[in-house]
Amino acid sequence: MQLPIELQQAIETLAEGYGLKALKSARESISEDYRKGSSSSKGFRDPNQLFSYLITRMPATFGACSQVFQEIAARLPEFKPKTFLDLGAGPGTASWAALDTFPSLAKLHLIERESDAIEIGKKLNLPNAQWHKASLEMPFPVAKADLAVLSYVFAEIADLSIVDRLLDSEISLIAVIEPGTPAGFERIRKIRQHVLNKGAHLIAPCPHAHACPMKGSDWCHFSARIERTRLHRLLKEGTLGHEDEKYSYVVFAKNSFTTVPFKGRVVRHPQKGSGFVRLALCDSSGELIQETITRSNKELYRSARDAEWGMTWM
């Protein structure tokens, strides 16, 4: 997966004139904040960190958001959103991913508190975008939208009042995406249970509305593979042509949707041996199970051989 070509070209044009050494140092600072679970928004106030984010973190966040939106499209094939609400938008990463997945989008509302992030977002020429400067922890008008997203923002939000505001607004579908770390997943787990207590309906990734079965040091997360550009490799001093972004997420709605049914979600890399595939599944029963499919069941075995971490199962 990679950024849309027009977005990549805009980033590279804007980054011209910034020294590689300064951008590398800024990238290290961003990475340290990310490992600590801090939000990247404070880096939007520093030009070097902001451009380093565009080159190294924007593709990863775009990849995670894209996979979540693609999952929504797979679960709701009739869902053709026209309006999108991007909360804590930064330079518009999630909006670019939404537009890439849902070409039906005609209006994008982006809420961001940092002026520098808004200004650079405008320079990236996101189509159909309306920018609004506001903090998510302060009152602001919530635009009517078919789809809203809170992407990588809950590390800096004190409570879940913004979730309640969205549930009380004219918003059809809400996606929350966090880093695929134990801390990021705990925030997702808390939000998941909170919206279920409010009577919301889960769309993804869960195949059930029971209590989350992940226990102890285990956590639910998925992975998006991102192609690295030449500049991306230079800043990260990486040799591989790709990197993997781990993320956790939940998608929910105030009202019920007719979704494509499935029995379980593959929550780990499948173990593929000689004549068998073993799948770790979060099952519709609300339990974590191991299912082994052998070659003797030819049709199911073919499906299991094609199964990947994060996919739905049957």
Cα 153 to Cα 177: distance, rounded to the nearest angstrom: 8
DSSP state of 41: G
- Answer whether CATH 3.40.50.2300 is correct for domain 5-253: no
Angular region, 216: left φ>0, alpha ψ -120 to 50, beta rest = left
Domain boundaries, the chain: 5-253, 264-313
Opening angle at CA 37, ends 211 and 191, nearest 5: 25
For each of the chain's 314 residues, which pLDDT tens digit applies?
889 999 988 988 887 766 556 566 656 666 666 556 555 555 565 677 787 788 888 999 999 999 999 999 999 999 999 999 999 999 999 999 999 999 999 999 999 999 999 999 999 999 999 999 999 988 888 989 999 999 999 988 878 999 999 999 999 999 999 999 999 999 999 999 999 999 999 999 999 999 999 988 899 999 999 887 776 666 666 677 788 999 999 999 998 898 998 999 999 999 999 999 999 999 999 999 999 999 999 899 999 999 999 999 98
Tell me the backbone φ, ψ of residue 282, rounded to 5 degrees. -90, 115
| Separation between Cα atoms, residue 100 and residue 66, nearest integer Å | 8
Do residues 39 and 152 make contact, with C-beta atoms less than 8 angstroms apart? yes
